[in-house]
Homo-oligomer: A and B are copies of this chain.
Amino acid sequence: MSKVLDKINIPKDLKGLSKSELVQLCGEIRQQMLMRLSVTGGHVGSNLAVIEAVVALHYVFDSPVDQIIFDVSHQCYAHKLLTGRKEAYIDPEKYFSVSGFTNPAESEHDIFSIGHTSTAISLACGLAKGRDVKGETNNVIAVVGDGALSGGEAFEGLNHAAELGSNMIIIINDNDMSIAGNHGGLYQNLKLLRETKGKADCNFFQALGFDYFFVPDGNDVNAVVNALEKVKNTDHPVVVHMCTVKGKGYRFAEANRESWHYMGPFDMDTGKSLEDTVDAETYEALTAVYLADKMRKDPKVTAITAGTPKILGFGESLRQQFPKQFADVGIAEGHAVALASGIAKAGGKPVFGVSSSFLQRTYDQLSSDLALNHSPAVILVFFAGISYGSQTHMGIFDVSLVRNIPDIICLAPTCKEEYLSMLEWAIEQTEHPVIIRVPGIETVSRDVKLLPEYAYPARYEIVKYGTEVAILALGKFLELGERVRERLETEHGIRATLINPRYVSAVDETILRALPKDGHRLVVTLEDGVTDGGFGEKIAGFYGSSSVKVLNFGARKEFVDRVTVEEQYFRYHLTAEQINADILELYNSLNH
């Protein structure tokens, strides 16, 4: 059956194919990709949509001399399959041998490691500039989905690309979808261009100065080939706007494009997910229930997402219940923070939900737009902490990012009761920006001492009072702290104090000063994030001039790609056993 695909291993194998073979090849790739996706899960919709475009790109251009950059790169599967990594899509034994993103460590055809959106045009501008100063002549091609165009970096890149004055080809893969629906004025123009077959006078790309080409059916491989052949070796910046169908060729994915953007393992025939349904309550769901109730009672409460409504638990039907109070700004995290600042300034009560990895895109807005203006907006940081996953989407850097910005109160709840208590206070207070680090995926419940308010000064919760050793276990790691404490007591007779610090951005000086007076000689910090610049170093700095010893535990400053959580814990000395051993070693040295 896979007759054409059998002959294809690297891009140049495509060169001799006939038009009908190209069509057949796309069908074969689609079939293989679906088989693999049904086992491995992955970005189904976006990858099915671009098979024809990718085949056409490798048919027309000469990678890696010609350089193809995939924005977000969660649509690179066909590219990988065509560039020496076919086995990873055909041989079930090798399904997990490649990542879901481009990665130069895998192939010379992958120019960059990419996982965040809206960066490809800027990176491609750099390749083009580097080519030009070296006097070379290859093509540089950026492939950008319509959903990524709302991100500021994409616009900064477009604006510069338009005046580069040399070869630069930008493929706009327009399937009328971001992860959820698209949002923003730009998408009205894309719609107009689709409806007029690219002929409308008012053209966003032409306004910026690009030569513009329109491909009505980007899933017609030969039509894409024709368009690309026209722009190959262009001496100026061009945009090729092609329309594709998200989930193309798989009816379930075409019918429900948001759900099939990313999907775990599924049954090919029925489209049914094969993942065990999680019975446990998640913080996403908890947040959605809480916020929806709050929004019904108070029209000033406004939920904000930057293209990922589901991390707040807001599915389609819930979003429709709040046409005014739910704002999806598209992929534009910086804007979302500034928007929240403005809403708060106007007396609204904004809550912006964002994943730890994407919070990185908002530092200046957090500082200049939000903190400097003391705007009482609430930011919920999801997916924080050590996780299995791509090096492009790590959740360990948020604490070191935000804890040094003046005026922002950054809180780390340990359980759902504390999370809801902090969230309720944060929404109702009117003095400070508040960032809450959501403690993991599944909720936990504990008998926690709640505070009536979480303003400064910071007040830590003493969970168990002991002596000699104090364990400051931040957020989700309180549970780890409990295990460390128990082990110290049962195995070594050390009755340690266990503390829930609650606050990431300030220390409880009263409690910290009291600890040595109460006989504590060793303070241990546990945090689910990088130690460099993290919570623990703040404690080390506090005790620097005292006789109290401090041990900081957390993640190492490094990019980590698809390493299990267990292995990372072990690598960073974050198992209860390792922590106990380290504590004991220091503890024993203090007694000699």
Contacts and interface: CB of A to CB of B under 8 A. Distances in A.
A184 interface: yes
A153 B207 contact: no
A324 interface: yes
Contacts of A131: 346
Given A126-B350, A129-B302, A559-B407, A185 B163 contact: yes
Interface string A337-374: 01111111111101000000010110111011101110
A153 B559 contact: no
B537 A332 contact: no
Contact of A372 (B153, B329, B392, B546): B392
A134 to B, nearest CB: 6
Contact of A342 (B125, B162, B327, B360): B125
A116 B369 CA distance: 9
B159 A345 contact: no
B550 A335 contact: no
B329 A133 contact: no
Interface string A418-447: 000000000000000000000000000000
A148 to B, nearest CB: 12
B392 A344 contact: no
A406 B400 CA distance: 12
A512 to B, nearest CB: 14
A186 interface: yes
B360 A363 contact: yes
Interface in A141-192: 150-163, 183-186, 188-189
Contact of A404 (B186, B341, B345, B397): B397
Contact of A345 (B112, B371, B549): B112
Max chain B C-beta neighbours (<10 A), residue from A133, A343, A347, A531: A133
B537 A545 contact: no
B368 A392 contact: yes
Interface stretch (A197-205, A227-235, A253-261, A312-320): A197-205
A558 B112 CA distance: 37
Given A347-B130, A360-B367, A541-B540, A184 B202 contact: no
Given A201-B202, A325-B133, A541 B552 contact: yes
A530 B161 CA distance: 37
B551 A340 contact: no
A207 to B, nearest CB: 4
Max chain B C-beta neighbours (<10 A), residue from A151, A163, A401, A545: A545
A39 interface: no
Interface in A109-149: 111-116, 119, 122-135
Contacts of A361: 363-364
B122 A334 contact: yes
A531 B299 CA distance: 41
By size class, the interface of chain A is 35 or more
B185 A346 contact: no
Given A113-B372, A160-B339, A545-B549, A209 B183 contact: no
B335 A125 contact: yes
A401 B400 CA distance: 8
Interface string A571-592: 0000000000000001000000
A134 B300 contact: yes
A220 to B, nearest CB: 27
Contacts of A545: 549-551, 586
A271 interface: no
A338 B126 contact: yes
Contacts of A183: 159-160, 163
Contacts of A125: 335, 338-339, 342
Interface in A519-573: 530-534, 536-538, 540-541, 543-546, 549-552, 557-559
Contact of A329 (B135, B156, B400, B586): B156
Interface in A64-109: 104
A450 interface: no
Contacts of A416: none
A201 B202 CA distance: 6
A274 interface: no
Given A126-B339, A368-B392, A369-B119, A133 B203 contact: no
A235 to B, nearest CB: 15
B540 A346 contact: no
Contacts of A348: 126, 129-130, 133-134
Contacts of A151: 152, 156
Nearest to A69: B342
Given A161-B185, A163-B184, A189-B209, A119 B338 contact: yes
Contacts of A115: 368
A59 interface: no
Nearest to A400: B404
Contacts of A392: 368, 372
A330 interface: yes
Given A123-B338, A201-B201, A406-B558, 9 more contacts: A126-B345, A126-B350, A128-B342, A151-B156, A157-B338, A159-B335, A186-B208, A401-B401, A404-B532
11 contacts: A112-B369, A125-B339, A126-B340, A126-B346, A129-B343, A133-B325, A134-B347, A160-B335, A162-B184, A404-B557, A532-B538
- Can you list the 10 inter-chain pairs with the closest CB atoms, starting with the nearest? A126-B342, A152-B152, A130-B346, A162-B185, A122-B338, A544-B550, A156-B335, A159-B184, A130-B348, A155-B155
